[in-house]
Amino acid sequence: MRKLILQMQMSLDGYVAAASPALDWQVWNWGEDWNWDDELKRDFNAVFESIDCILLGRKMVEEGYLDHWGRVAQNHPADPHYAFARKIVETNKVVLTSKLKASKWDRTEIVRGSMVDEVNALKRRPGRNIIAFGGVGFASSLVAAGLVDEFQFFVNPTAVGSGRSIFEDAHTEGPQLQLIGSASYDCGIVVNRYAP
């Protein structure tokens, strides 16, 4: 069975969304200036070699994630983001939502069933692992349903003071996690990987 990997940006004090939406706390937020160091970019790209499906939350799609990388994938191959953008464009994507009627993006499937049923069906399909990207609501729903097989937290060197956690919708206790890897990078990011 395929594994679902949840990858999230996180503040130093454990939040994945700052209380103030105006606070610019992430070292990189998929904009034009990809200011991670080369080693982190390489390791991030290597994760994509182990997956063949991207699970996305509706809000992330509507905020322009697929449109952004689709534009970058049309740039010249010498563009430093081109190869990564092509991986996103060429990878199959699934958006779990009842609000979108149809997909306007290539290689993107809209699924409308229950989160548990749809994610478990994805896991049973043949292929490589699945990576999930989305906002705090989407991610916390995956966590609360016990669907995440690996957490990858990209801890930014910024404390935001208050905000939201992906564990806020968990039952009385958050899940017990086992550290399976940790690496620090020159740009200040520390990537911690956990398994439930």
- Look at residue 4 and tell me whether its pLDDT is greater than 70: yes
The residue-averaged pLDDT of 65-79 equals 78
pLDDT at 94 (0 to 100)? 94
The radius of gyration of the chain from alpha carbons, rounded to an integer in Å, stands at 16
pLDDT at 83 (0 to 100)? 75
SS3 call for 67: helix
16: CB partners within 8 A, 6+ apart: 8, 9, 10, 136, 139, 163, 164, 165, 166
The residue-averaged pLDDT of 106-115 equals 88
List own/partner pairs for 83-89 with CB under 8 A and 24 or more apart. 83/45, 84/41, 84/45, 84/48, 87/45, 87/48, 88/54
For 9-25, letters b (16+ CB in 10 Å) and e give bbbeeebbbbeeeeeeb
pLDDT: which is higher, 57 or 63: 57
Side chain identity, residue 175:
P
pLDDT at 148 (0 to 100)? 96
Alpha helices (H) in the chain, listed in sequence order: 38-47, 58-62, 65-72, 82-90, 115-124, 136-144
- Look at residue 171 and tell me whether its pLDDT is greater than 70: no
Range in 39-48, 139-148, 184-193 the model is least confident about: 39-48
Environment class of 135 (CB within 10 Å of its CB; exposed 0-12, middle 13-18, buried 19+): middle
pLDDT at 29 (0 to 100)? 67
Which of the four pLDDT bands, split at 50, 70 and 90, describes residue 51? very high
- Look at residue 27 and tell me whether its pLDDT is greater than 60: yes
Tokens of 150: 């690996």
Q: At what angle do helices 38-47 and 82-90 cross, to 10 degrees?
A: 20
Which of the four pLDDT bands, split at 50, 70 and 90, describes residue 80? low
pLDDT at 93 (0 to 100)? 92
Distance in angstroms (rounded) separating the CA atoms of residues 124 and 160: 38
> Which has the closest alpha carbon to 185: 16, 46, 17, 42?
42
pLDDT at 120 (0 to 100)? 96
pTM over 0.85: yes
- Look at residue 76 and tell me whether its pLDDT is greater than 90: no
